[in-house]
Structures are given as C-alpha cells and as structure tokens.
C-alpha cells in the first residue's frame, strides 16, 4: 500500500483535468484500492474486489478552472490478498493542461512533493 501527497504546480491559468489510471496485469486474485483527492474534492474512490484478470481502468476525470499556484493533491493505492500486500499493480496520475485535448501521465514537473528530509 502506498500513499502520497504533493502539490499540483499550475503555471498557466485555465481548465485542468485530473484523473487516475489503474493497471494490474493478470495475477492471482487480489483486492485493489485507488483514492485520489484534489484540495477538498474527491476525484477517485474505487475498491475492486477479487481482481484476477488483466485490468486497465481510467477513472472519471474532474475539471478545475485554476489560476497559477500550488494546489494540494493526494493519492492512495494498493492491492492485497488476505492480510498480505500483493502486486503487481500501478496507479498513474493523469493530467490534462489548458488547451490539451487528452489526459497524459503527470509530467515530472506537474506534481511537487514536500521535502521530507526537513520534517
């Protein structure tokens, strides 16, 4: 299981689209959780039970009209069987920038993570 928090770095004002994608190749059956939030808004909250086939799923996207700045974004992802964390599986944050027509995996400079060495 993994959880993270960071900030979406908005450099250009406009409509941003945020979503997530879950990818899990065929493997022994497992339960998977995906949860994403943007500020006080829940974007994705999904619990899939007994996944055993290939699964690639895009979640419904949320649209936000944003001004330049940093906006809190958080995520939780994990797959488990019984009491044990299991893999393989991957969650990808997807971002659409102003003027773009589709969603792409977040760019390296889209999400700024706090420096944990100073905490």
Please spell the DSSP secondary structure of 21-77, one letter per residue.
EEEE-S-S-EEEEEEEEETTEEEEEEEEEEE-S-EEEEPPPEEEEE-SEEEEEEEEE
- Kind and range of the H or E run holding 98: none
CATH architecture of 2-113: Sandwich (2.60)
In this prediction, residue 119 carries a pLDDT of 45
Q: Distance between CA 50 and CA 107 in Å, rounded?
A: 32
Judged by DSSP in three states, 115 sits in coil
pLDDT bin (cut points 50, 70, 90) of residue 117 is: very low
Q: Where are the domains of the chain?
A: 2-113
pLDDT bin (cut points 50, 70, 90) of residue 101 is: confident
Q: How confident is the model over 11-47, as pLDDT tens digits? A: 999 999 999 988 887 777 788 888 999 998 988 888 8
Q: How confident is the model over 41-89, as pLDDT tens digits? A: 988 888 877 766 667 788 889 999 999 999 999 999 888 888 888 777 7
């Amino acid at each position: 299981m993994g959880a993270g928090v960071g900030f979406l770095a908005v450099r250009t004002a406009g409509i941003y689209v945020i979503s997530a994608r879950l990818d899990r190749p065929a493997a022994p059956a497992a339960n998977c959780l995906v949860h994403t939030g943007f500020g006080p808004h829940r974007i994705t909250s999904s619990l899939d039970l007994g996944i055993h086939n290939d699964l690639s799923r895009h979640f419904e996207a949320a649209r936000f009209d944003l001004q330049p700045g940093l906006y809190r974004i958080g995520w939780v992802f994990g797959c488990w069987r019984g009491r044990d964390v299991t893999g393989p599986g991957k969650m990808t944050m997807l971002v659409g920038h102003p003027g773009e027509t589709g969603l792409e995996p977040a760019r390296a400079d889209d999400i700024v993570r706090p420096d944990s060495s100073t905490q």
